[in-house]
Amino acid sequence: MDTPRLVRTSGTVLAVAGLLLTACTAGGEGHSAAASSPSSSSHATLAALPSSATSDAAALKPYYDQTLSWHDCGAADFQCATMKVPLDYAAPSSTTDLKLAVARKKATGPGSRLGSLLVNPGGPGGSAIDYLQYAAVGYPAPVTTRYDMAAVDPRGVARSEPVKCLTDKQMDAFTATDVTPDDAAEQKALVTADKSFATACQQRSGALLKHVSTVESARDMDIFRALLGDTKLTYVGKSYGTLLGATYAGLFPSRVGRLVLDGAVDPSVSALESSRAQAGGFETAFAAFAKDCVARPACPLGTGSVKAAGTNLDTFFKQLDAKPLPTGSSRKLTEALGTTGVISAMYDEAMWTTLRNALTKARTNGDGSGLLRLSDSYYERDSSGQYANLMYANAAVNCLDLPPALTGPDAVDRALPSFLAASPHFGANLAWSSLICGYWPIPNTGSAHRISAPGAAPILVVGTTRDPATPYAWAQSLAEQLDSGTLLTYNGDGHTAYGRGSDCIDTAVNRYLLEGDVPTTNKTC
């Protein structure tokens, strides 16, 4: 669905800092009875899986019967452990097991404990453990005091056997590569960069690259649920995390407890449709930013109309294409990095001030450092030049989950008019950025499909009307697909809604998580 240059991650997780847990991959396993191992109740759901994902329940019993060895780690009251899962669910073998990092923060009360609440911020590729450190203290207190807050870094992500691809210097070059090529030579350079990225992932990640699908991560989550002692899964998934949660519901509908799917992904949408819809989402978000900006006396895109602001942005991008800006470092701000910096700020309206300042520095002072910092935060590049594996896992999961959006420059040329119609300012970038899965060395194992999860308990789907990364229409579609889906709407800006400042949204979600009550039909905040 997304490419390594465009990622479904809740903007909130980008703000988490200073709580990094240590030793989250340490721990041991033993033997004990799990709350719910793969019994006959799960065979009906397994029948719907691709043949490569199915396995005999007896072969999975050791995974459901392991004991997690919890230990204190990093921030106060957080515990970490390591969980074993099969590399290949079709052929579980202890010789190839993966070790996934898991963490939790136990409920502190008052009030009776309600079980575990798993969280995932999206991506694919976002660290759920990093996000847990925000959620455990940033989610509303009525929830965090009564649930054990818990997370597992999905396979291939962060602390859980991370997918590896480029070196940091190679990634610097990759992120700066022109993704709006103007001639055959620039097209060739972009294709070469995408092919090199894909080849590096295959060379450095080996067999893991075949087993990082959303289906497999959802099955890992069921093992974690059982090891936490819960008979049903309670879960808040943001952005791509909604696809992970919906996939879980489709596989294990009888084990669905209270699922909040916030910033929803539509599983029935193809990779091409997804990229094009996201282009429209960023266009909508930019229009909201520009409307706010031009009403201010010092807007770096002018003080005229929204249309004029967009024209000025296009002019700025063209100037960067012709002459990248200095940044006070050895790296220059290219058009690609500048565009990513702007896109990064579209995820959260709280970043609009930062974006205005960065654009002012760039357009007035010829200093690209502000936009470069925004781009680096998007790619999870730290001040020492090291990248997290976010973008590597992002490509690996997306290219495995769906057939490629586009398979070569000719296909991009044919699709470009529809992308530009959806987004005059970002369409070309999104179209060319959709190309990488066309060169992926591992064939996709999944495809776009509807998820109905018959028999599941009520599931709450949350959509934001001007969400840049997961368009509101996706939330409407997912709520309609799920037999037990209910849509909760936030009329506002930014990516995702729960825990981001709306009392109306938080009250509705809290009531669902604490009491199981879904909002009235079509409730809007």
**Residues ≥6 apart with Cβ < 8 Å to 304:** 294
Nearest Cα residue to 478 out of 450, 519, 518: 450
Tokens of 39: 């019994």
**Residues ≥6 apart with Cβ < 8 Å to 152:** 83, 100, 101, 102, 103, 118, 128, 129, 160, 220, 221, 224
Q: Which of 367, 467, 493, 506 is catalytic?
A: 467
Residue 71 bears catalytic tag: no
User: Please, are residues 478 and 266 in contact by the beta-carbon 8 Å criterion?
Assistant: yes
Residue 377 bears catalytic tag: no
Distance CA 376, CA 26 (A): 29
- Number of other CB atoms surrounding residue 409 within 10 Å: 17
The Cα angle at residue 222 between residues 216 and 226, in degrees rounded to 5: 150
Distance CA 316, CA 338 (A): 9
- Number of other CB atoms surrounding residue 30 within 10 Å: 9
Q: What is the DSSP letter of 442?
A: S
Distance CA 463, CA 315 (A): 33
User: Please, are residues 483 and 279 in contact by the beta-carbon 8 Å criterion?
Assistant: no
Q: Which of 55, 116, 239, 434 is catalytic?
A: 239
Q: Which of 367, 495, 502, 506 is catalytic?
A: 495
Place of tokens 């620039």: 186
Sheet holding 71-72, edge to edge: 71-72, 78-85, 98-105, 147-152, 115-120, 233-238, 256-262, 459-466, 485-493, 523-524
Residue 413 bears catalytic tag: no
Nearest Cα residue to 85 out of 152, 165, 164: 152
Distance CA 261, CA 462 (A): 6
What is each CA distance from 34 to 40, 61, 230, 245, 515, in whole angstroms?
Answer: 15, 9, 9, 21, 25
Name the residues annotated as catalytic.
239, 467, 495
